Amino acid sequence: MRVSLIHMKTRGSVSEALSAACKKISEAAEQKPNFIALPEYFSVPGFIEEFSSAEEIFQKTYNPTFEFLRKVSKQFPNIYIVGGTLVEKSQNTFFNTCLIWKNAKLLGSYRKRNPISIEVKIGISKGDKPFVFPTESGNIGSLICADIFNPEAVKQTVSLGAETIFLPVASLSTHPNVKGHPLSEKIASENGVFIVKVGNVRSDAKGGRSAIIAPWGIIEEAEETFSDKVITADLDIQRLRRYREEINKGFSTPQ
């Protein structure tokens, strides 16, 4: 199973963000991955704390982002597109939602279950359901950024059979200065899952560093530089399944 992450800088406009994402998706597609994944809020100019409401973000970004994801999915029909996140509206409620696409078809969606304080302030509501989807390359699940701090959300996703968890994240000025990916590594190791963390960066914020993490360690990660980058790695699903069998038996970690 091959995955490509689009590690992105934030942009000043929706069109700039989508243009940058399109360029890197095309670059990633040349590496023939099974999945291409984008960051949380990848099309939002600047970042969400610069907006007064979820309604404002929705009005500015939803339609162009949704249509962009549909089009790139159609352009690369053999690749699953994990569409970062966008602000979705359902009746009068707003969610931070990850959409999964293939060949211009929307296959599923996941709503963030643990929105942070700034999201709650502008009107982002909590999702309430886990997401796991079977593919030819194994079962994939999704969490979004701070969901990784929610043990119940992690547990439910793993219990439903997720072998690879895509984790779109975004940088905030309030993000703690954490060295490495200690929580993601711990969850990957204890649960026998791959964590595919795909983030964005901006010059005045910490966090948002992309990484592909196996139960046995970090496979690839973004450098601490303010630039766009495609990160591609092959995930050994058979090794993962052997690892999971062993930890379920309570044996020592296999090599």
Cβ-contact 111, 97 below 8 angstroms = yes
Of the two residues 12 and 174, the one the predictor is more confident about is 12
The per-residue pLDDT for range 7-56, each reduced to its tens digit, is 998 899 999 999 999 999 999 999 999 999 999 999 999 888 889 999 99
Confidence of residue 176 (pLDDT cuts 50, 70, 90): low
With tokens 């303010």, the residue in question is 226
Q: What is the pLDDT of residue 215?
A: 97
What H or E segment, with its residue span, contains residue 191? helix 182-191
Cβ-contact 168, 85 below 8 angstroms = yes
Residue 164 CA to residue 5 CA, distance in Å, equals 13
Confidence of residue 209 (pLDDT cuts 50, 70, 90): confident
- What length is written for the chain? 255
Break the chain into its structural domains and give their ranges. 2-249
Cβ-contact 18, 50 below 8 angstroms = no
Residue 12 CA to residue 42 CA, distance in Å, equals 11
For 23-34, b/e burial (b = at least 16 CB within 10 A) is: ebbebbbeeebb
CATH number of 2-249: 3.60.110.10
